[in-house]
Amino acid sequence: SPKLEYLLTETRGRVAIVTLHRPKALNALCSELFYELNQVMKDYDNNKDIGAIVLTGSERAFAAGADIKQMKDRHFIENYTEDFLGHWTQITKVRKPIIAAVNGFALGGGCELAMMCDIIYAGDKAVFGQPEIKLGTIPGAGGTQRLVKAVGKSKAMEICLTGSVNLSAEEAERAGLVSRVFPADVLVDEAVKTAEKIANLSLPIVEMVKDSINTSFETPLSAGLNFERRLFQATFASQDQKEGMAAFAEKRKANFVHN
Ligand code: CAA
């Protein structure tokens, strides 16, 4: 695999751990970093031995946002013709579950990146915010969209309109942005534990759950319920549904073959 400049990668059993590693800039998301991230995520998505992915940063910062120094002199026409930040959406196409383990700052693009993941766990010192307005711009990768769905309109407005009202880990958990908070030093291990649990279930069925929940954001309820029911019906074409239900009836542990 190609040498990575801004990421560290590791696998533990069926779990891949991807660590944002640009310590000099609090993991600011320069375009090179994001290209590496897209490539690594795509490789793990296509790797049969991986069932779930944990994305983390350092104890000080998950990511402090898009790289302000790199983008400050850009112009509208190049942004438009190159679809600036358009490539950030690739990570949302990953079919396997991604757990964000957020310690420290998750600001601007960092908060948006965490929200592109499927589950967010936070370390107790994590800080979530959308400070773009203080730079004379607006969130460009989901801060005004996904955040509303996660915390509701009033909190999202307050966070994005002031740029300085941030959510602590505890507040983020209470608001529903984050599903659990852990002491910073055990956060990644806890995220890996959950990832292992998921990775030991049937991968195609896990992917159907992710697909179905994500569909709820894009469709009216009746269409979403139809989509869900069709996938539910389709699980009966899998070996793992036969195994899972037989194991229950026989009072033994299921042995999934990801098929
Ligand atoms: N881009 C580029 N460099 C950044 C950066 C960013 N987003 N965030 C931090 N850095 C750099 C700093 O410039 C500094 O570099 P130097 O040592 O070379 O000066 C280094 O990281 C350490 O940062 P600080 O010295 O500022 O650390 P601090 O502890 O005093 O402050 C902070 C931490 C409050 C997070 C502060 O760094 C900060 O406000 N960062 C910017 C946060 C921000 O505005 N993010 C939104 C970016 S725009 C965006 O993301 C658009 C989008 O929607 C996609």
pLDDT digits (tens, 9 = 90+) for 94-138: 999 999 999 999 999 999 999 999 999 999 999 999 999 999 999
The answer to whether the CB of 65 is under 6 A from ligand 1 is yes
Catalytic site includes residue 109: yes
Q: What is the pLDDT of residue 2?
A: 66
Tokens found for residue 71: 């983008």
Q: What is the pLDDT of residue 157?
A: 98
Measured from the CA of 85, which atom of ligand 1 is nearest? Answer: 54
Catalytic site includes residue 66: yes
Question: What is the mean pLDDT of the segment spanning 230-236?
Answer: 98
Percent of the chain with pLDDT over 70: 99
Question: What is the mean pLDDT of the segment spanning 191-196?
Answer: 98
Question: What is the mean pLDDT of the segment spanning 70-83?
Answer: 98
Question: What is the mean pLDDT of the segment spanning 36-54?
Answer: 98
Question: What is the mean pLDDT of the segment spanning 68-82?
Answer: 98
Residue of 51, 104, 108, 109 marked active site: 109
ipTM of the complex: 0.98
Q: Per residue in 237-252, pLDDT tens? A: 999 999 999 999 999 9
Q: Per residue in 134-186, pLDDT tens? A: 999 999 999 999 999 999 999 999 999 999 999 999 999 999 999 999 999 99
Residue 26 CA to ligand 1 centre (angstroms): 7
Answer yes or no: are the C-beta atoms of 146 and 214 closer than 8 Å: no
Q: What is the pLDDT of residue 16?
A: 98
pLDDT band at 1 (very low <50, low <70, confident <90, very high): low
The pLDDT mean for the chain works out to 98
Catalytic site includes residue 110: no
Q: What is the pLDDT of residue 108?
A: 98
Percent of the chain with pLDDT over 90: 99
Tokens found for residue 180: 């659990």
Which residue of 68, 70, 88, 164 sits with most ligand 1 atoms within 8 Å of its CB, as the best mutation to test the pocket? 68
